[in-house]
Structure 1
Amino acid sequence: MTLAAFTNPGRFWRGNLHTHSDRSDGVLPPEEVCRRYHAEGYDFLALTDHFVGLYDYPITDTTGYRRDEFTTILGAELHSGAMENGEIWHVLAVGLPRDFARPNAPHFFTVEDQETGPEIAARARAAGAFVAIAHPQWSGMTLNDARSITEAHAVEIYNHGCAVECDRPDGFHTLDLLLSEGRRLTLCATDDAHFAGPDFFGGWVMVKASENSPEALLSALTSGAFYSSQGPELHDIRIEDENVLVESTAVSTLVVAGQGSAAGAVHGASMTRARMPLDRFAASPWIRVTVVDAAGRRAWANPIWFEEL
């Protein structure tokens, strides 16, 4: 059995799903943000400015910065309602229509008569967006908070801005607990770039699609045909003879993790193929694969559910 990301037709396209411009709290104008990602070899970008009244609820129009070899997807970071710690929700929504209805979110503080976070996430998904639970560690999100976003496609498991600005980049604890409750979620790495510091070009998604168009990319994202990376490339992951087999660019570690404490690692020099027996995962309904290169950079595959094999 091989994962759809490695068998679907097309090729991998590199993109960032979480970025800000001076339309909200970023430093650079949208045109310059797009130019920099294009110049760094990205195939696509979602500019996701903060969708609050303070910035006049922007869904930043980046269509004019598309090129034959570079495209953009419209989106926003949505805010509405209070999490259990009293702070306002942050929900990443990529693929929003330009006329997405404004919430009652005048600023970054909660107010009366707001939609809840789960409600605005559900509305975004109904509008066709790829919805991710943004930076759960940075937000101080509880498990109950995360459980409540039932319409999310993914959890943001690495946020480069949160890594360099406050050492809170991680979403794996949230993801793994939700997976262990049966939630079929994918995972994404992002920049959350504002360009006020070195918060750019640190985490991205590699999306398998037949063409580099917003429609094809969004369809692949919502179906899970992608992986996330800081550098290493995944070429194939398949289940064969009670083993998981991984092919990649040169890495030094393969990690396979499952429910609870189920995990294992294979170490080596310049590995491009690695194998992990699955006997230790007999009690886990799912596994996920990580590879780590010699520089410590990681790539992460979406979870594999054994009942779907």
Structure 2
Amino acid sequence: MPARLPAFTAPGRFWRGNLHTHSTRSDGVLPPEEVCRRYRAEGYDFLALTDHFLGLWGYPIVDTLPFRTPDFTTILGAELHSGPMENGELWHILAVGLPPAFAPPAAPDFKVHPGMETGPQIAARAVAAGAFVAIAHPQWSGLTLADARSITAAHAVEVYNHGCAMGCDRPDGFGIADLLLSEGRRLSMIATDDAHFSEPDHFGGWVMVKATENSPDALLAALKAGEFYSTQGPELRDVRITATGVEVECSAVVSVVVQGAGTASKAVHGQSLTKAMIPFSVLKGTPWVRVSLIDAAGRRAWSNPHFL
């Protein structure tokens, strides 16, 4: 029997959401209610407002419950900071599903101060509190592999950050994520906006989460289980791992790419591709695989990894 990625076997339907967003409660330019209104108006099913969890702004975990509607929900969260990383700057750790009473770190601002928690410590504390935790924008942060290795409690790596794409052309987290996967770390991959609404940093990357209902608890459980894929628009409809290769079904694209450890990779190109099969014979014995799609407009989608 072929194996299928959990996003395509889990019960329910796909819900579109953004997991990384800012408002006037930290350094964003729109108030929380307007941020939520815009995401709902753009067809999103859910949003995590993740303002910077610093003393400068009163350590906000913004109450977005008043902005929920029958067709739109919110998940409480924050972008946590502590540190330092190897480059001397503070960690940026995305925590979605934090309780409102999550204890703040000794992080009054974006500077390093004596006695701070380490990044691994605050990430582990967020996971213990029930949050889905991701290493934020590795390329923008200047994250080293040693930094990334130290965060052993994280569920995911932020592999595409639209704000970093628009603001500094440093959107990527795949290099760090792939190296961790090749060391055996079982991590998922998220695409986000990191929207501040001060530039075109919104509606550019999101997750499609498979769940039985559009509720915070159901969405968080699915995120932690890896029952989602990430996209800028293209749709992943199935990924099957057979005895001979990787079979992909999707919306119309021009490229289907399967990546693995090291140099293991193979692409199929064409017009209006909706199915592709990549044989294992060209993937050099990789212990894991993941799928990327590219459509005619250059927009991409990404599966979570599968360990063989």
Q: TM-score, normalised on structure 2?
A: 0.99
Provide the rounded CA distance (Å) in 2 between the counterparts of 1:279 and 1:128: 41
Provide the rounded CA distance (Å) in 2 between the counterparts of 1:64 and 1:117: 32
Structure 2 counterpart of 1:181, one-letter code: E
Give the aligned partner of residue 75 of structure 1. Answer: 77
Residue number among 70, 87, 91 corresponding to 2:89 in the alignment = 87
Structure 1 unpaired stretches of 5+: none
**1:125 to partner: Cα distance:** 0.3
Deviation by residue 1:252-278 (Cα, 9 ceiling, x = unmatched):
000011110011000010011111111
Displaced runs of 4 or more, over 6 A: none
Give the aligned partner of residue 28 of structure 2. Answer: 26
Give the aligned partner of residue 238 of structure 1. Answer: 240
**1:282 to partner: Cα distance:** 4.4
Provide the rounded CA distance (Å) in 2 between the counterparts of 1:220 and 1:282: 31
**1:4 to partner: Cα distance:** 1.2
Asked whether 1:213 is paired with 2:207, we answer: no
Give the aligned partner of residue 265 of structure 1. Answer: 267
Asked if the contact 2:23/2:51 (under 8 Å) is kept, the reply is yes
Give the aligned partner of residue 173 of structure 2. Answer: 171
The 5 A counterparts of 1:81-120 are 81-120=83-122
Tell me the secondary structure at the aligned position of residue 74 of structure 1: strand
Deviation by residue 1:158-189 (Cα, 9 ceiling, x = unmatched):
00000000000000000011011110000000
Deviation by residue 1:102-147 (Cα, 9 ceiling, x = unmatched):
1000000110011000000000000000000000000001000000
Provide the rounded CA distance (Å) in 2 between the counterparts of 1:107 and 1:164: 25
The 5 A counterparts of 1:57-68 are 57-68=59-70
The 5 A counterparts of 1:151-190 are 151-190=153-192
Provide the rounded CA distance (Å) in 2 between the counterparts of 1:196 and 1:97: 28
Give the aligned partner of residue 136 of structure 2. Answer: 134
Provide the rounded CA distance (Å) in 2 between the counterparts of 1:243 and 1:180: 19
Asked if the contact 2:163/2:194 (under 8 Å) is kept, the reply is yes
Give the aligned partner of residue 50 of structure 2. Answer: 48
Tell me the secondary structure at the aligned position of residue 270 of structure 2: strand
**1:94 to partner: Cα distance:** 0.2
Deviation by residue 1:38-94 (Cα, 9 ceiling, x = unmatched):
000000000000000000000001000000000000000000110000000000000
Residue number among 144, 147, 161 corresponding to 1:145 in the alignment = 147
Give the aligned partner of residue 13 of structure 1. Answer: 15
